[in-house]
Amino acid sequence: MNSTALPLVVLSEQFAKLPGIGMKTAQRLAYHVMSMSEEEARAFADAIITAHSTVKECSVCCNLTEKELCPVCDDDRRDQSTICVVETPKDVTAFERTNEYNGVYHVLHGLISPLDGITPDMIRIKELLKRVGSGDVTEVIMATNPTVEGEATAMYISKLIKPLGVKVTRLAFGLPVGGTLEFADEVTLFKALENRSEIN
């Protein structure tokens, strides 16, 4: 016999769907929601709905934003001729924290990974080629993670862009190989950005 109220079980299962949250933690989070005030619970639920319904991809760089253009693309002080290509919106945040990069971004929303069934047409490569083809771009920095998929995606994209006469560079391997961008500290990221090398 189950002594837990059904709505609590449902809520626990919702939490358990989140990455890195097991069933025990999910239960604890569900009970925590019960201890919230009416307004706090409503604010939490509203934040989910609002974020999900208002945040879309920037029409230029595919970063997540609630406007037509993300703050970076919309800023005319940013150098629009340099595009830093990253896997996820989190990586944009990581680069912005360095306060050293003045170009713009392009968010792929994934990496090519045949084993996971992710082919080049499933990530935002088409949109990147369209931007590069417009003629104003002089450099594309491949800033995907230093993993097998990240390297493969960087190589794939550089082979498509180089024939267009645009310089393609790769982040320097100051990054610990096999790690992820998200957890790199600011100095390491800045060094990796500074020592970027051209893909031959």
Which residues bind to a copy of itself, rule: CB under 8 A? 1-8, 10-11, 13-14, 17-21, 24-25, 27-34, 36, 38, 40-55, 63-66, 70-72, 75, 88-90, 92-93, 96, 182-183
Measured from the CB atom, is 14 or 138 closer to a copy of itself?
14
How near is the Cβ of 69 to a copy of itself at its closest, in Å? 12
Local structure of 183: helix, strand or coil: helix
Do residues 169 and 199 touch, judged by C-beta distance below 8 A?
A: yes
Smaller CB separation from a copy of itself, 11 or 141: 11
d(CA 58, CA 69): 5
Going by C-alpha positions, the residue among 178, 186, 182 that lies closest to residue 149 is 178
For a copy of itself, the closer CB: 75 or 198: 75
- Residue 172 beta carbon to a copy of itself: minimum distance, rounded to whole angstroms: 22
Whichever of 32 and 159 has its CB closer to a copy of itself, that residue is 32
Closer Cβ to a copy of itself, 42 or 159, answer by number:
42
Shortest Å, Cβ 141 to a copy of itself? 16
Where do runs of H (alpha helix) occur along the chain?
6-16, 23-34, 38-54, 89-98, 125-133, 148-161, 186-194
**H or E segment to which residue 80 belongs:** strand 79-86
Region for residue 145 given its phi and psi (left: phi exceeds 0; alpha: psi -120 to 50; beta: otherwise) = beta
Q: How far is the CB of 94 from a copy of itself (least distance, A)?
A: 10
User: Shortest approach of a copy of itself to residue 45 CB, angstroms?
Assistant: 4
Distance CA 86, CA 150 (A): 9
